[in-house]
Structure 1
Amino acid sequence: MDNTITITLNGETTVIAAHTTVAGLIDQRGISPDGTAVAVGETVLPRSRWKDNRLRPGDTVEILTAVQGG
């Protein structure tokens, strides 16, 4: 049994551990969840679903973070 899957993360092919959740991916990447939005496929996921949403092989994930500027 393979312990990794391949997803597309922000346009880049990325190999991650199987059974990784959106919350786990955010944590592994060192991204603060504050000001962060995540879409899997064409669906924006509310933060309340990040811990329950396991990524699947072939998923397309976009992680967007708000940046302050002036």
Structure 2
Amino acid sequence: MNIKYSTIFVNGQPFNCFNNMSLKDILLYLDFNIDAVIIEYNKSQILRPNSFDSFYLNNNDSLEIITIVGGG
């Protein structure tokens, strides 16, 4: 069995993941609340939450993950 990996960059840090992991899989693995994040993809595009489970990353792609925090 040939398992393929990609190295992506999450908030500037390298992260190795399986090629078949969706963005949603990666966010859940990294313990992000997917209902409270904004994702910037390759410094050029904001991704919509309804695309997280069908969006797959390529080697050397980058994500900036901004978490939304409530307070008072």
Q: Secondary structure at the match of 1:6?
A: strand
Q: Give the structure 2 partner of residue 65 of structure 1.
A: 67
Q: Give the structure 1 partner of residue 41 of structure 2.
A: 40
Q: Could you list the per-position Cα deviations for residues 19-61 of structure 1 after superposition, in whole angstroms to 9, with x for gaps in the alignment?
A: 2211111111111112211121121100011111101111011
Q: How far is 1:2 from its partner?
A: 4.8
Structure 1 unmatched runs, 5+: none
CA distance in 2 between counterparts of 1:30 and 1:59 reads 20
Q: Give the structure 2 partner of residue 54 of structure 1.
A: 56
Aligned ranges for residues 19-30 of structure 1 at < 5 Å? 19-30=20-31
Percent of pairs with identical residues:
20
8 A Cα contact 2:3 2:18, kept in partner: no
8 A Cα contact 2:37 2:66, kept in partner: yes
Aligned residues, how many?
70
State TM-score, norm by structure 2: 0.84
Structure 2 unmatched runs, 5+: none
